[in-house]
């Protein structure tokens, strides 16, 4: 199982770009990297997912180096509403119906200030 | 399309009581999961079911049992509740990404 390590907390200001890095040294060949956002009193929700190189969607970008042992979530021009906990999850999520344990790390609490 | 539905949303138990948390998904997903989240902490995996008819232990299975009743439903049972089981419980189903329910807030006195 790929163990993930992230910074516990980060502070930013509105309008800045925020980059959160996750370390996953023992990532397996079939593992994908998925980032989730969680607001208080809610379940986590999907932000972005990738396998290698760079992925971009309407809310974030995900950068994955060639060795795949880390990944960086990039949030452009954050606002106060981006204050949340961000989790990096690594696992085989397309395992033909027999996916295994999906273990969350401690997450990164992002505080966006005015 | 309701997604993942958990019941009850809130429950208060006394130590030693038993109860079952229900979870159902309407997305035809094979895999389902139960997590717990203590205040200010991350999510910890209790049990998961990779497909109908199979269940496996997660990180913190002690004190819990699960049943994958059919493809839609995955229940979590506390046989003898303890104060240490006070938490928010999240059920999720998975197809490429995890889809979470709204959570069940359990307090054990």
Q: In what order do the strands lie in the sheet with A18-23?
A: A18-23, A70-75, A61-64, A53-56
Q: CB distance B43–A104 less than 8 Å?
A: yes
**For the segment B9-42, what is each residue's pLDDT rounded down to a tens digit?**
999 999 999 999 999 999 999 999 999 999 989 9
- Split at pLDDT 50, 70, 90, the class of B1 is low
A46 and B44: CB-CB below 8 Å?
no
Query: B16 vs chain A: nearest CA distance in angstroms?
Result: 26
The pLDDT of residue A100:
74
Token reading at B97: 């990404």
β-strands A61-64, A9-13 pairing: unpaired
pLDDT at B101 over 70: yes
Give the residue with greater pLDDT, A65 vs A95.
Answer: A65
**For A102, which of B45, B90, B101 is closest by C-beta distance?**
B45
- Would you call A103 and B58 a contact, using CB atoms and an 8 Å cutoff? yes
């Amino acid at each position: 199982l790929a163990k993930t390590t992230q910074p516990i907390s980060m502070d930013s200001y509105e309008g800045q770009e925020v980059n959160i890095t996750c370390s996953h040294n023992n990532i397996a060949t079939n593992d994908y990297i998925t980032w989730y956002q969680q607001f208080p009193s809610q379940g986590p929700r999907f932000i972005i997912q990738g396998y290698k190189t760079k992925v971009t969607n309407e809310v974030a970008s995900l950068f994955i180096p060639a060795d795949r042992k880390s990944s960086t979530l990039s949030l452009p021009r954050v606002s106060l509403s981006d204050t949340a906990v961000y989790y990096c999850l690594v696992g085989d999520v397309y395992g033909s119906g027999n996916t295994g344990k999906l273990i969350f790390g401690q997450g990164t609490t992002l505080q966006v200030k005015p | 399309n309701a997604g993942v539905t958990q019941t009850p949303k809130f429950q208060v138990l006394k130590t030693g009581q038993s109860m079952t948390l229900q979870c159902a998904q309407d997305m035809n997903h094979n895999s389902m999961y139960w997590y717990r989240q203590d205040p200010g902490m991350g999510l910890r995996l209790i049990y998961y079911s990779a497909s109908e008819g199979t269940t496996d232990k997660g990180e913190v299975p002690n004190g819990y049992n699960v049943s994958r009743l059919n493809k839609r439903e995955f229940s979590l049972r506390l046989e003898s509740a303890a104060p240490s089981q006070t938490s928010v419980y999240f059920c999720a189903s998975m197809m490429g990404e995890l889809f979470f329910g709204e959570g069940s807030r359990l307090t054990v006195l």
